Chains A and B, each alone.
Chain A
């Protein structure tokens, strides 16, 4: 039963209206495909709308570096892709070391990268650190820096990708969650709450719900959920330009172009996936406040205006799942970015389009195969 909805045929259906879904839809549509996108709430409702929007190659897992470096080049010309600068500022990303041991750890990684041929990060001393971050606490000894990194505005980015996707002909269905999946001839039929669509190719960009969606296609994949908390403060005068993280603490710290400070780092709140609800845990959040003050003592009197926790997916090895389904023909996965997917948005969409068009991709996505998670589970 299709619930009374007429069925619309597409070349590709994308499930998930976050940035990865929009990017995939955009690239597919520009490649000539007829694309429909289903989103159960509204565009950007969850992880994308709650993102700190860090655009970084700094500190990435080595497996992600090839695609991350390609994405970085795309960010440097993001206007060419979505006709908007997305609020992208390139003031650098800095990972601060608070003591000699942490700095030694950063140097070790730097050597490892250079040995592999990567030059996008560098180590700086305390003096250069102070020049880049004048308010940094005096005890900080140095940092790893990627000068061509930065941050964007998540909502501008969402609006830009959405506009471009729609301009390219993508049909977006908001308020339309997928209730049922059926195999019909050579196509997949997705019965949504407001529409029924069919396509031979489906993209799973369903974020924290991607595991549930995958299961409907017969792909069991263990997927955890994160509810990382984010603090937004009152507006303050220009304070720092780069985006800051910390070698020894869970902290991400940046200033938006409106002047608010955005403080995150992965301290977890509580969540209810079914109800799409999260709850802030202030007692746990103390650590984020303490970390912010430890690195930037002059923020001690700054007021927090609001705090929230965004729902996102987390894989066991914190690497995303990108690639074809091992069991369901025509199903392509793009999920599990584990809190650091924003920067990869432009390139992952291109990869998905390549996979849909030719069945293969020139990019290095072997580390992101879904099988690695299920094999591990089978072996456990």
Chain B
């Protein structure tokens, strides 16, 4: 969907998204990484199980929510990437008793 053709000065790091290791740059926005990693969405909605990708990238739409390092419903457009960050795309309703 989106690509990063320009070499970044920031340190190369990797994050794990749903078990898959993905290359990223230290400190870049997690939502940007999601938008270049198939299947490109951050979550599936609890109401109709529809996939949602980051949309506004400025903290206003709340469609970019994913579970980051065990914390649910984090706005990935406000989350700088760190090496080894664990990301899970969210689907359905949040289970509390797990």
Once the chains bind, are B46 and A299 in contact (CB under 8 Å)? no
Stretch from A111-119, A143-151, A179-187, A230-238 contacting the other chain: A230-238
Output the least CB separation between B75 and chain A (Å).
Answer: 11
Which residues of B, 57-98, contact A by the 8 Å Cβ criterion? 71-73, 92-97
Asked if A364 lies at the interface with its beta carbon under 8 angstroms from chain B, I say no
For A237, the chain B residues whose CB sits under 8 A away are 92-96
Once the chains bind, are B97 and A302 in contact (CB under 8 Å)? no
For A235, the chain B residues whose CB sits under 8 A away are 46, 93-94
Number of interface residues of B (CB under 8 A): 10
| Chain A contact surface mostly | loop
For B46, the chain A residues whose CB sits under 8 A away are 235, 259
State the CA gap A320–B1 with chains docked (Å). 62
For B97, the chain A residues whose CB sits under 8 A away are 134-135, 239, 298
Asked if A303 lies at the interface with its beta carbon under 8 angstroms from chain B, I say yes
State the CA gap A235–B46 with chains docked (Å). 8
For B93, the chain A residues whose CB sits under 8 A away are 235-238, 259
For B92, the chain A residues whose CB sits under 8 A away are 237
Once the chains bind, are A236 and B73 in contact (CB under 8 Å)? no
Once the chains bind, are B73 and A234 in contact (CB under 8 Å)? yes
State the CA gap A298–B95 with chains docked (Å). 10
For A239, the chain B residues whose CB sits under 8 A away are 96-97
Q: Which residue of B lies closest to A236 (CB)?
A: B94
Output the least CB separation between A132 and chain B (Å).
Answer: 15
Output the least CB separation between B86 and chain A (Å).
Answer: 16
For B94, the chain A residues whose CB sits under 8 A away are 234-237, 302
Output the least CB separation between A123 and chain B (Å).
Answer: 26
For B73, the chain A residues whose CB sits under 8 A away are 234, 303
Give A259-297 as 1s and 0s: 1 = Cβ < 8 Å from B's Cβ atoms. Answer: 100000000000000000000000000000000000000
Q: Which residue of A lies closest to B94 (CB)?
A: A236
Give A115-134 as 1s and 0s: 1 = Cβ < 8 Å from B's Cβ atoms. Answer: 00000000000000000001
26 A-B pairs within 8 Å (CB atoms) are namely A134-B97, A135-B97, A234-B94, A235-B46, A235-B93, A236-B93, A236-B94, A236-B95, A236-B96, A237-B92, A237-B93, A237-B94, A237-B95, A237-B96, A238-B93, A239-B97, A259-B46, A259-B93, A298-B96, A298-B97, A299-B96, A301-B71, A301-B72, A302-B94, A303-B72, A303-B73
With A303-B72, A303-B73 known, 16 other A-B pairs at CB within 8 A are A135-B96, A135-B97, A234-B73, A235-B94, A236-B94, A236-B95, A236-B96, A237-B92, A237-B93, A238-B93, A239-B96, A259-B46, A259-B93, A301-B71, A301-B72, A302-B94
Enumerate the 8 nearest inter-chain pairs by beta-carbon distance, A residue then B residue, closest first: A237-B93, A298-B96, A237-B95, A236-B94, A235-B46, A259-B93, A236-B96, A298-B97
